[in-house]
Amino acid sequence: MFKFLTSLFRKKADSVDSFLMYPEGKRYYRETHSIRRTNIDEDAIKIINRLNKFRYKAYLVGGGVRDLLMGKRPKDFDIVTSATPNQIKRIFNNCRIIGKRFKIVHIIFKGKIIEVSTFRSLPEHRLEKHKADNDYLIKRDNSFGTAKEDAARRDFTINSLFYDPKNDSILDYVGGFDDIQKKIVRVIGDPDISFKEDPVRMLRAVKFSVLLGLDIEKKTKLAIKKNRLEIEKSSSARLLEEYNKMFRTWKTSQIFHGLAENHLFEVLFKESIDRLKKTDPEWKEHFLETPLGKRLAITDQLLSAREEMTPAIFYSLIFYDIVSDIFQSDKGHIAHNIKEALQPVFERMGIPKREQDNLVKIFISQPRFLVTDDEKERQNSFFKKKDYFYDAFMVYKIVALSENNEAAVQSAFFWEISLRQRPKPDSHNFGQQQNRKKEKKRPPRKKMRGGRGPHPGRQQQGGEGQNPEPSPESNERGTNREQESHFEPREPRPNRTEGEDEA
């Protein structure tokens, strides 16, 4: 009872309004911003209008608003609302509730998914006195709140703007509109607490600064350096997903340069950089001139030239310096030595077993590209049919170009002349769980020949006028029809965790 009374009358260190630049919300109307409804997905507008019809507040939020203000084309449109997931589900038939830490709703249209989330409340520890040794990592987050609370608890000011299609206005609680004009990435609230809540925000700050041409605000930049080791607390699946997003930007080398300058690269990929740190203490400043930086820059160039690159290629290039000495060594078996060298990295980064095996095969194959004898045409043809050949070849080619190795480049040219194989469709989903169970089809039933009587073991019940038993094919028509109507979204979006819905 005493604890209850003390907690009831205890003064809180802060209120929600203390995190907001405009506690009542500042409106920017059509005359002051560049967002037009013609640039917004029609289905997203329909969802907002329908929620408003049922008297729920609903806005476009996050990266979609940010990108439109910056004159860029959004990759998706996310919606935030006062309706709870169950209330949303009662309004829309074409939806599903997903998520563990925070439940959100995917509304499904043909060829796309629009994500709708409920306003979230500010974490309780934000309103209490901060202690340096407290663990603020958000593990579960299903508390609903108001629009201003939702804005206050997001990651960066540029991702916390709401667009209201009812009057074509932008609602700003945190000063994100001004930060976009000033081209600044700024954390909402105390960056030390924000980065401890979700360490992946540090990666995202660097990524946004590179992709959007923004400067990281000084206080935010200092907090990244101070809290860089917090990144080790992030889930491996979350980090792998974030890396995969970076690999698709065509600017991986520049993002990694930013990670190096902000002291994150040596925490994320410390095994890959250990040797470089010993030989070049200033490697952070001229990361793009390092062997790894050159490999990534060439990969970005090939991507811009419409070459196809999978995450396995990028990881192989990142880990290449760990195993490069093994190719010239005569000690032991190459496969065993490569596995032994990479196993600590695989375990620390949480790379799934299937991807581990694929990466090892890519590295084992590297010396094979030196064999270009015409007498081994049959063996070469067999090698090209391997499912990992494309990835292995691209790694060999990129390394040869980065090292300016003329002999290796000529070998790559030999293999590339007849290259036809492309990566598998699922090769871009590195580290993501995939359902590989195939539906078992029953073999077709053999037709009975006339004049031989009933099927052995079957009791005849109706004479000549008896209706035939339905065929297995007719039993499967309903299932097949459902499969045909199923569609794949533009980009697989796994269950969201905190931070992901903020971009």
* Domains of the chain, earliest start first: 1-182 (3.30.460.10), 198-432+489-503 (1.10.3090.10)
Specify which residues 80 forms β-bridges with.
59, 117
Whole-number pLDDT of residue 323: 94
78-81, strands of its sheet edge to edge: 26-28, 169-172, 162-164, 58-61, 78-81, 112-118, 104-109, 95-98
**Over 60: is that where the pLDDT of 162 sits?**
yes
pLDDT in tens, 95-117: 999 987 678 999 999 889 999 99
Whole-number pLDDT of residue 471: 40
More confident residue, 155 or 374: 155
More confident residue, 132 or 42: 42
pLDDT in tens, 334-357: 999 999 999 999 999 999 999 999
**Over 50: is that where the pLDDT of 3 sits?**
no
Percent of the chain with pLDDT over 90: 63
- Contact yes or no for 67/91 (Cβ under 8 A): no
Whole-number pLDDT of residue 439: 46
How far is CA 331 from its chain centroid? 39
**Over 90: is that where the pLDDT of 417 sits?**
no
Q: Label residue 34 exposed, middle or buried (CB < 10 Å: 0-12, 13-18, 19+).
A: exposed
Whole-number pLDDT of residue 443: 57
Q: Maximum distance among all alpha carbons in the chain?
A: 94
Whole-number pLDDT of residue 444: 57
**Over 80: is that where the pLDDT of 146 sits?**
yes
Q: Which of 156-165, 199-208, 271-280 has the lowest mean pLDDT?
A: 271-280
pLDDT tier at 86, thresholds 50, 70, 90: very high
pLDDT tier at 399, thresholds 50, 70, 90: very high
Task: Please list the helix, strand and coil fractions of the chain in percent, rounded to the nearest 5, in that order.
Answer: 50, 10, 40
**Selection from 128, 159, 104 nearest residue 13 by Cα:** 128
pLDDT in tens, 293-324: 999 999 999 999 989 999 999 999 999 999 99
Whole-number pLDDT of residue 123: 75
**Over 70: is that where the pLDDT of 150 sits?**
yes
pLDDT in tens, 232-242: 999 999 999 99
Mean pLDDT of the residues in the chain: 83
Q: Which of 13-22, 213-222, 249-258, 330-339 has the lowest mean pLDDT?
A: 13-22
pLDDT tier at 140, thresholds 50, 70, 90: low
Token representation of residue 244:
């995969």
pLDDT tier at 281, thresholds 50, 70, 90: confident
Instruction: Provide Rg for the chain, Cα atoms.
Output: 28
Read off the pTM: 0.79
Active-site amino acid positions: 76, 78, 155
Whole-number pLDDT of residue 432: 67
Whole-number pLDDT of residue 462: 42
**Over 80: is that where the pLDDT of 132 sits?**
no
pLDDT tier at 16, thresholds 50, 70, 90: confident
Contacts of 492 (CB under 8 A, 6+ apart): 429, 432
User: How confident is the model over 480-490, as a mean pLDDT?
Assistant: 37
SS3 per residue for 378-423? HHHHHHHCCCCHHHHHHHHHHHHHHCCCHHHHHHHHHHHCCCCCCC
Whole-number Å distance between alpha carbons of 146 and 359 = 46
Whole-number Å distance between alpha carbons of 310 and 314 = 7
Q: Which of 367-376, 386-395, 493-502 has the lowest mean pLDDT?
A: 493-502
In angstroms, what CA-CA distances link 412 with 401, 402, 485?
10, 13, 43
- Contact yes or no for 123/19 (Cβ under 8 A): no
User: How confident is the model over 9-37, as a mean pLDDT?
Assistant: 83
pLDDT tier at 422, thresholds 50, 70, 90: low
pLDDT in tens, 370-393: 887 766 778 888 888 899 999 999
